Amino acid sequence: MAGVSVQAFRRQGRRFGAGLVCSEMVSCAGIEHRNERTLGYLRVATDEHPLAIQIFGSDPGVMADAARMVEAAGADLVDINFGCPVRKVTKTGAGATLLEDPDRAARIVGAVAGAVGIPVSVKMRRGLENGSRACLDVGPRLVEAGAQTLTLHPRSARQMYTGEADHSLTAELVERLDVPVIASGDITSRARAQTVLATTGAAAVMVGRGAQGNPWALREIVDGERAEPSREEVAAELILFIRETVRELGERRASGFLKKFYGWYLGRGRFPRPFKQELVRVATTEEVELRLLAAAPGAAELVERLEAEVPAAGDEVLLDMPISIYGGG
């Protein structure tokens, strides 16, 4: 969820029923070198809790130091990424690569668990290659090292997001462990969540891409509410998301960052395709809002209601770091 799970996304998830939200993955190297943008990911709002902050890296000592900062920032849980399949991460020895280096993976988990007082979890893929079962061997070692829960996305790193998640592996991992296992991958509806929970014995499910531009999926999974949002509701939620993201990242960064969200929100037949393409070409978020309100005039009243109901970000834990604007821009 890199480039997606900003604070505005997480707060929205909590509002729609998510029991736990997680940051996008944070580079331990960036934390070590006090990179301003990286440190911006450690801003935590009071209404995000419970919140996990996810870190990635390959050096146990650096990971332990980063975990201490995550705890100081106010996270309720530190999550370690052993699942990212992206080349720029795996080539550094981080992410899914660590599933092929179980000794180092265990040392990382042990170092992090020994450095913090909050729970430690690990997000994994099945392994690097298609058909790999590395997660079944590595998982128990991570628990022995101090992980208190594991999340499994049973695709290989090579698969990226193609094909289907093989949750028979999730069931096998559950059988091998005495700690909670969270099932991730292809959780897009209440029916699918119920099936995965029933067939795997997992303690919970994790929703990622299914909630991109579609927070209503979370409400449907949690409460069983299947009503498709109206055009006005979609526009209102997107406008609120835009405003929250601008507050977090600043107009310059937010205007580019948000473009992918327009397609996610306005797709699924909610708005005509040319309208989505039109918004991507607009230069400012203010103009995007104006065009959304012109396309769905009833959204204006809904936006006012949402802004009255949704609490302000509240007091954040401010570390003694050089973060010049909100979000570390």
Residues identified as active-site: 84
Residue 329, CA distances (Å) to 39, 41, 47, 248, 324 in order = 10, 10, 22, 9, 7
The β-bridge relationship of strands 51-56 and 26-27 is parallel
Q: Which residues pair with 124 in a beta bridge?
A: 82, 152
Q: Give the end-to-end CA distance of the chain in Å, rounded to a whole number.
A: 19
Question: CB of 70 within 8 A of CB of 41?
Answer: no
Question: CB of 8 within 8 A of CB of 241?
Answer: yes
Residue 167, CA distances (Å) to 73, 155, 173 in order = 34, 9, 10
Question: CB of 43 within 8 A of CB of 7?
Answer: yes
